[in-house]
Chain A
């Protein structure tokens, strides 16, 4: 299980980077285009949730969009959830800009970003346990709230794991240092997810 099993340099073979299809420039371009396509796909994913929100709200079948006794959850907590993730995305973005020139500083930003993301997760779990309504009792709004936030949370967890792996690779000869473009474009995804967090905050807590 030696880490050297993952490196060609140790086996005396020519570095892959010299092959035209594996140069860092090619990887950078693939990362940029790939992340935009992925973000586009994720846009339609969340669009389906927003459609569910507005459609069920308009239909208000059996007057059960928001039954009596169901209210919007606390806006402060919702704001905290969004802001923590936005901070995480912002910190990572700043860090990724300087990961080559000032690696140590970038690492600090990345750690702070991870901390903010984990805090966001914790607060969201807290909110799920203190909603003020029980989705098992039915109702359109509770269903969409749980579903949309749950889907967003799953993507938050996945991106925090990837962020952690970026931290681990921000070291001399690490993947992020040798190929910083993939970290930069991962930052785009975090900003996108923060944007969805903002829109869902407005829609779920104010509409």
Chain B
């Protein structure tokens, strides 16, 4: 049974990552991780710092992660180099076919894409369960269901897990799988780094899930100090888990940037790049350069919690503003990391289902790059009421308002493409239109928040919660679902059931809007974020929201059933081009050959060349047959 539609290619040209002392695979990784955790705890506690045993837990997690990666085989290549063994370059597709390569270190970008897809869906499930528990607690205005510290742990777990998902859920599965195809190459720039960026994610998820065993942590995803310094060992999960994800974002960004800059095939000029690749590229700029600031700030948190430095303690020369500024300097580009690939997906899919070229392609690119540039200059809008210097507020208000200009360009381009089109209302298209509606609301609510005088009332309330759920869930998650329905046939060789898909769309769209729209009202009516109690007059509203949240969750379960059934129980092979789309990945067969291109392709046309009076022509020349040897 094939996990993915990656068939048997020609003779394999492969130098496999052979074992060093032990066979390197997932099982070895898990065993070594346990050993590493134990060793780290012993070492950390032996220093005798006055640290509430944080050093042990932190070192335990760090050693566990490193040993996990060693056990998987990531140390093989560096050690082979170190021992002076010949190291030929690795090919980017696997010698061994079979399902086990999905559970091990693989350098094939297609395998890594599938691995990411499964990991992201599982993490979303965990985060979603957290959300259901939160909404259950909020059925009652008192702390009748869940105790206050458990509630905060639920909030923190849900939010941090979803942040992990949102950071990588588009670039991970779809960027890694399709960018090499779209630019016409067989490889990513650094396949080992690509694999590493994936394999950092499971340890991060496990470490985060371990947090409740140590008492959880009360800070939410923003990790504000000094509250974080009151937290017990549960907060160490946040530090290490978020560092691993930050490293994954950074490495993925470096890899993607280098790949797109260097490995484009002849004819694939910057002005012919599919807009999805532009979305991934612009996100990678933010990922590569913002994530290191997070790593730096998290190490300061770690030092404060172990050797008692005082980065964030104002009575000892530190400042809570240091964390706030460093965190949000990363945190704002982070939310654009969420949405830029989503813009890429929506602008990629609409032309194919409207059967028209992407209207205003260059404007779209300017829009994506404009968002990328401006996102560095807005972070203090999270700090309008924090007590920052008053003279800063006008600048950040202006920059934040200005970022709605390039964001609006996405709507312009989408509308231009829909104008006079021939729209096929397929399931991916429905989700793209849903994206446009949801992101409109999310974006408009952002304008309310960006104006400082109104932000005074709205900051820290459910209004801001509704804003970011509309943009991230209504925006990015809808785009992810669209991408799954769209690209599933090419990635797995199976079509998802489209009747279930249409039901899923309406179920999810209605439930999402009915669940989150009232939260704007809750915020305006004096309900702050992250609370388990609220005014009794708001109970009706909260109960309504909770019920529709359950309905929304069940729609995702329905989707999961569709995915699992279609992937594993439906044996019908999908057609090579079910959407009749003109894009390189659809011009290749299903199942995809193990080696993307046997000869260097030449791109001869711009993408989205619908409406061409000469009729459809292939956009790429897959090269002449090689001369007989």
Instruction: Say yes or no for A52: interface residue by CB 8 A criterion.
Output: yes
Q: In the docked arrangement, what's the CA distance between A142 and B83, Å?
A: 39
**B437 sits at the interface (CB 8 A):** no
Distance between Cα atoms of A136 and B305 in the complex (Å): 10
Report yes or no: A56 in contact with B262, Cβ–Cβ below 8 A.
no
Asked whether any CB of chain B lies closer than 8 Å to the CB of A157, the reply is no
Q: Which of B66-74, B87-95, B220-228, B390-398 interfaces with chain A? A: B87-95
A110 at interface by CB-CB < 8 Å:
no
Contact among A41, A63, A165 with B78 in the assembled complex (CB-CB below 8 Å): A165
| Docked-complex contact B315 and A61, CB < 8 angstroms | yes
* Measured CA separation A38–B316 after assembly (Å): 35
Q: Which of A1-28 contact B (CB under 8 A)?
A: 1, 3-9, 13-17, 19-22, 26-27
Does A80 belong to the interface (CB within 8 Å)?
A: no
Interface-side segment among A83-91, A168-176, A193-201? A168-176
CB 8 Å contact bits of B166-196 with A (1 = contact, 0 = none): 0000000000000000000111011000000
Asked if B15 lies at the interface with its beta carbon under 8 angstroms from chain A, I say yes
Q: Is A73 an interface residue, CB under 8 A from the partner? A: no
Cβ of B443 under 8 Å from chain A: no
Q: A6's contact among B86, B92, B297, B310, by CB below 8 Å, is which?
A: B86
Pairwise interchain contact B319-A45, C-beta atoms closer than 8 A:
no
Query: Across the interface, which residues of B come within 8 angstroms of A162, CB to CB?
Result: 78
Residues of B within 8 A of A49 (CB): 296
Q: Check A65 against B18 for contact (C-beta < 8 Å).
A: no
User: How near does chain B come to A169, taking the closest CB pair, in angstroms?
Assistant: 6
Given contacts A33-B262, A34-B190, A48-B292, A8 and B81 within 8 Å (CB-CB): no
Q: Are A175 and B81 in contact (CB under 8 A)?
A: yes
C-alpha gap A16/B92 in the complex (Å): 11
Whether, in the assembled complex, A60 has its beta carbon less than 8 Å from a beta carbon of chain B, the answer is yes
Cβ of B415 within 8 Å of any chain A Cβ, yes or no, is: no
Please indicate the chain A residues that have their CB under 8 angstroms from the CB of B313 in the complex.
138
Q: Which residue of B has the minimal Cβ distance to A52?
A: B322
Q: Are A61 and B318 in contact (CB under 8 A)?
A: yes
Q: List chain A residues, Cβ under 8 A from B14.
A: 8
Contact A6 B80 (CB under 8 A): yes
- Which chain B residue has the least Cβ–Cβ distance from A57? B317
Residues of B within 8 A of A123 (CB): none
Task: Report B-chain residues with C-beta under 8 Å of the C-beta of A171.
Answer: 84
User: CB of A77 within 8 A of chain B?
Assistant: no
Whether A44 touches B289, Cβ cut-off 8 Å, given contacts A29-B262, A136-B50, is yes
Query: In the complex the two chains form, is B15's CB within 8 Å of A7's CB?
Result: yes
Report the Cα distance A40→B326, complex, angstroms.
17
B contact residues around A66 at 8 Å (CB)? 317
Are B322 and A41 in contact, with the CB atoms below 8 A? Answer: no
Q: Is A117 an interface residue (CB 8 A)?
A: no
**Pair A52/B326 contact, Cβ less than 8 Å:** yes
Residue of B49, B86, B257 near A3 (CB, 8 A) is: B86
Q: Complex: how many Å from CA A109 to CA B480?
A: 52
Q: Closest chain A residue to B90 by CB distance?
A: A16
Cross-chain contact A3 with B85 (CB below 8 angstroms): yes
Instruction: Please report the C-alpha to C-alpha distance between residue A5 and residue B77 in the assembled complex, in whole angstroms.
Output: 12
Identify the closest chain B residue to A40 (Cβ). Answer: B289
Whether A41 pairs with B600 at a CB distance below 8 angstroms is: no
CA distance A199 to B18 in the complex (A): 43
Question: What is the bound-complex CA distance between A130 and B474, given in angstroms?
Answer: 55
**Which residues of chain B have C-beta atoms less than 8 A from A60's C-beta?**
317
Minimal Cβ-Cβ distance residue in B for A179: B89
Nearest CB to that of A143 among chain B residues?
B309
A30 touches B81 (CB 8 A): no
A47 touches B318 (CB 8 A): no
A165 and B315 contacting across the interface, CB-CB below 8 Å? no
Q: Does B254 contact A (CB under 8 A)?
A: yes
Q: Select which of B293, B310, B311, B325 is within 8 A of A44 by beta carbon.
A: B293
- Which B residues are CB-close (under 8 A) to A26? 262-263
Contacts of A3 in B (CB 8 A): 83, 85-86
Contact between B317 and A138 (Cβ–Cβ < 8 Å)? yes
Q: Point out the residues of chain B lying under 8 angstroms from A166, CB to CB.
A: 81
B308 — which chain A residues lie within 8 A by C-beta?
135-138
A146 within 8 A of B: yes
Judge if A187 is at the interface, Cβ distance under 8 Å: no
Does A95 touch B at the CB level, under 8 Å?
no
Q: How does the 8 Å CB contact mask read for B254-281 relative to A, with 1 for contact and 0 for none?
A: 1001100111000000000000000000
Q: Which of B50, B85, B189, B317 contacts A140 (CB 8 A)?
A: B317
How long is the Cα–Cα vector from A3 to B92 in the complex, in angstroms?
21
Quick one: which of B78, B293, B307 contacts A45, CB cutoff 8 A?
B293
- Cβ of A104 within 8 Å of any chain B Cβ, yes or no, is no
Known A14-B13, A33-B261, A55-B325; contact A139-B292, beta-carbon cutoff 8 A: no
How far does the Cβ of A138 sit from chain B's closest Cβ, in whole Å? 3
A62 touches B314 (CB 8 A): yes
Q: Given A45-B293, A151-B296, list of 9 further CB < 8 A pairs?
A: A5-B18, A6-B85, A8-B13, A22-B91, A30-B258, A49-B296, A64-B315, A140-B311, A142-B309
* Chain B interface residues (CB < 8 Å from chain A): 11, 13-16, 18-21, 49-50, 78, 80-89, 91-92, 185-187, 189-190, 250, 253-254, 257-258, 261-263, 288-293, 295-297, 299-300, 303-304, 307-311, 313-319, 321-322, 325-326, 329, 600
- 15 chain-A/chain-B pairs, Cβ below 8 angstroms: A3-B83, A3-B85, A16-B88, A17-B89, A33-B258, A41-B288, A41-B292, A56-B311, A67-B317, A136-B308, A139-B316, A140-B318, A143-B318, A161-B82, A174-B84
Q: Which residues of A contact B (CB under 8 A)?
A: 1, 3-9, 13-17, 19-22, 26-27, 29-30, 33-34, 37-38, 40-42, 44-49, 51-52, 55-56, 59-67, 135-144, 146-147, 150-151, 161-162, 164-166, 168-169, 171, 173-175
Closest A-B pairs by Cβ, 7 of them: A64-B317, A140-B317, A138-B316, A143-B309, A45-B292, A48-B296, A168-B84
